[in-house]
Structure 1
């Protein structure tokens, strides 16, 4: 065998080995690429799962904050309700006298559960008193009321109903009533509302069943009964 042939055979062997190495290297690179791709996909899945967990945690924190805020509001509302129940509730009104339905009275009443102090009542425009010669602006409440216990009331004569609604006479204009007072927790929020004497126009003038007029009638009936018994009639 000549030396040239041996060199050729060796060259072919070397080339074949290089080819094998190249093929194996390419396969290894392909496997590495596949593995890298799979790792990247797994990392994406983990990142997505982590984002979902973060979002869920944020939602839980937000829900917890809302629950805390709702509990605080409920607690504040409960405390305010308790305070309101413990405060006085003073109203001023014009009513027909229980003893004479024709007589109108200004009545101030405490419907709350505690003593009302330094009660101030204003009428805008002022009420007008119409009691014959005793007429003019009603000023019975100008000095205020020192205190008014729960269920307590005070009244002042204002005028006879027919004197406000005489034929051809315009009815009194509505008045805005403002009531201020102090309770156990300090100054009570002012109570403001409208009052109209026109509501009494055409109202039946009747004394209630517990008025002095009823008592007087009962005494007269009793006197008549006693007189008949004495005379034998």
Structure 2
């Protein structure tokens, strides 16, 4: 223990100018190394922040194509297939691959969605916030049909400069729609249907009124004819 204390003990009064100069040199070197280390760490941190900021700007400036099912705004209980570019730049050569291929109770109408140009040829260009909708099916008919309720849609597209972007995959599950409570919202189709019903009721009422007037006129005419031909009482 005494030997260790002896080694650690330093008699500064015995230092020569050369010792002080050497110590100052060593201290300066240590301070310089520490300063360089701090400067390198600061530069590395600054570079990381610049890289993150650049990456964020690039991601924000990229197209972002989304596909989903949505309520049709006009047809009550109608289901739309929606394609939208929610990014800030143009999307090019948008291709949508659906597995299994779409099938709908509306396919018999002659315009099956799976055979449309939207899915077979794709979209040459899709500007930011551009939204494309196509009527896919109606909820009640779909529920009673033996058709798939779950689809996987993969979207391939390029940015405005023609650079291929990472494909985006979406799971489109129609069964979720049947397990949720929702308020009934009446749209233009409901208003039009109500107006048609009112028109039919008014037409029927007008016909009944005309028939009643005709019946009364005929009754009055018959009564008048009968009264004029009767023998007077003696």
How far does residue 205 in structure 1 lie from its aligned partner after superposition?
A: 8.0
How far does residue 217 in structure 1 lie from its aligned partner after superposition?
A: 7.1
Gaps of 5+ in 2: 1-12, 200-234
Q: Is residue 189 from structure 1 mapped to residue 166 from structure 2 by the alignment?
A: yes
TM-score (norm: length of structure 2): 0.61
* Paired residues of 2:67 and 2:170 also in contact (CA < 8 A): no
* Paired residues of 2:76 and 2:190 also in contact (CA < 8 A): no
Looking at CA atoms only, which structure, 1 or 2, has the larger radius of gyration? 1
Q: Is residue 179 from structure 1 mapped to residue 155 from structure 2 by the alignment?
A: yes
Moved more, 56-65 or 92-101: 56-65
Counterpart residue number, 1:17: none
Give a deviation string over 1:131-168, Cα, whole Å, max 9, x none: 2635978343121111122222112222222344339x
Counterpart residue number, 2:139: 161
* Paired residues of 2:82 and 2:133 also in contact (CA < 8 A): yes
**Equivalent residue runs for 1:15-94 within 5 Å:** 38=14, 43=19, 47=22, 50-94=25-69
TM-score (norm: length of structure 1): 0.61
Counterpart residue number, 1:148: 126
- The one of 65, 73, 80 aligned to 1:98: 73
CA RMSD of aligned residues (A): 3.9
Counterpart residue number, 1:213: 189
Gaps of 5+ in 1: 1-36, 224-233
| Separation (CA, whole Å) in 2 of partners of 1:134 and 1:125 | 20
The count of aligned residue pairs is 185
Inter-CA distance 66–176: structure 2 relative to 1 (3 Å threshold): farther
| Separation (CA, whole Å) in 1 of partners of 2:191 and 2:59 | 39
